[in-house]
């Protein structure tokens, strides 16, 4: 079970990813979580990434690729993984495919795209700003992240479509209903 979760910021990848972890018993690899942990711990990598993240841009490919490669090599990731927030551009997707081959792991089974409208995204992220206080959940940064998503990450829909791996689901409704629809397309 190797799944890529795709969708705009705030589309629910993190929430659904956690539920998929519990359901399938494979780890979630979230580059956003890993980067935030590095920033919090004040590591060299975190220092390098912070300004870009706070501005809503994409952290350098070599940094996130390094994070994922290390994590994919760990024992618990041998039977599969849920990728959340990676790949985020075509170069990362190509590297991921090569990496899995190199590590002797099967390729990605499915890319699950959670579709949510721009207005709903802005609403959710502003709401999350109040609850979680993330540095990048400010209105101007949110707009930038949506623009970056549309320019850099959206092309991945075509990338996985061309491999016949893309499934698009509506990311609006209750968490459980969305989860059920994901499990259904994966079974
Ligand atoms: P969200 O999906 O809610 O925008 P994430 O937690 O996935 O948030 O990512 C937060 C930030 O971390 C991104 O805006 C970006 O700066 C950085 N980041 C995360 N994953 C990647 C990636 N694969 N490539 C480049 N930057 C990334």
Taking only the tens place, the pLDDT of each residue in 37-96 is 999 999 999 999 999 999 999 999 999 999 999 999 999 999 999 999 999 999 999 999
Ligand 1 neighbours, Cβ below 6 Å, are 9-10, 31-32, 35, 52-53, 56-59, 64, 85-86, 88, 92, 136, 145
Other residues' Cβ atoms within 10 Å of the Cβ of residue 18 = 16
Q: What six digits make up the tokens of 8?
A: 């705009």
- Residue 91: the pLDDT is 98
- Residue 135: the pLDDT is 84
**Which segment of 8-17, 35-44, 126-135, 172-181 scores lowest on mean pLDDT?**
126-135
- 80: helix, strand or coil: coil
Q: What six digits make up the tokens of 99?
A: 């990496």
- Cα angle, residue 65 at apex, residues 148 and 124 outer, rounded to 5°: 35
Residue whose CB lies within 8 A of the most ligand 1 atoms, among 5, 30, 31, for a mutation test: 31
Helices H, strands E: what count in the chain?
A: 9, 5
* Atom 12 in ligand 1: residue holding the nearest Cα: 32
Question: What does the pLDDT look like over 107-158, one tens digit per residue?
Answer: 999 999 999 999 999 999 999 999 988 888 889 999 999 999 999 999 999 9
Residue whose C-alpha is closest to residue 29's, from 69, 74, 83? 83
CB 186 within 8 A of CB 3: yes
Considering the entire predicted model, what is its pTM?
A: 0.94
From the candidates 28, 110, 124, 145, which is the catalytic residue?
Answer: 145
Spacing, Cα 32 to ligand 1 middle (Å):
5
Place of tokens 């959670």: 114
Per DSSP, 180 falls in state H
Question: What does the pLDDT look like over 156-170, one tens digit per residue?
Answer: 999 999 999 999 999
- Please state, in angstroms and rounded to a whole number, the distance separating the CA atoms of residues 122 and 139: 8
């Amino acid at each position: 079970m190797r799944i890529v979760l795709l969708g705009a910021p705030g589309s629910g990848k993190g929430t659904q990813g956690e539920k998929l972890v519990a359901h399938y018993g494979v780890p979630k690899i979230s580059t956003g979580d890993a980067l935030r942990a590095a920033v919090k711990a004040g590591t060299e990598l975190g220092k390098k990434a912070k300004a870009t993240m706070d501005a809503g841009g994409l952290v350098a490919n070599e940094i996130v690729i390094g994070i994922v490669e290390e994590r994919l090599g760990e024992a618990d990731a041998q039977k599969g993984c849920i990728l959340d927030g990676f790949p985020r551009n075509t170069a990362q997707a190509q590297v991921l495919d090569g990496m899995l081959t190199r590590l002797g792991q099967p390729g990605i089974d499915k890319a699950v795209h959670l579709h949510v409208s721009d207005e709903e995204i802005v609403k959710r992220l502003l709401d999350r700003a109040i609850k979680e206080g993330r540095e990048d959940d400010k209105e101007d940064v949110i707009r930038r992240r949506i623009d970056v998503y549309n320019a850099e990450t959206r092309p991945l829909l075509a990338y996985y479509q061309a491999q016949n791996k893309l499934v698009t689901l509506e990311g609006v409704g209750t968490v459980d209903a969305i989860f059920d629809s994901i499990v259904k397309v994966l079974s």
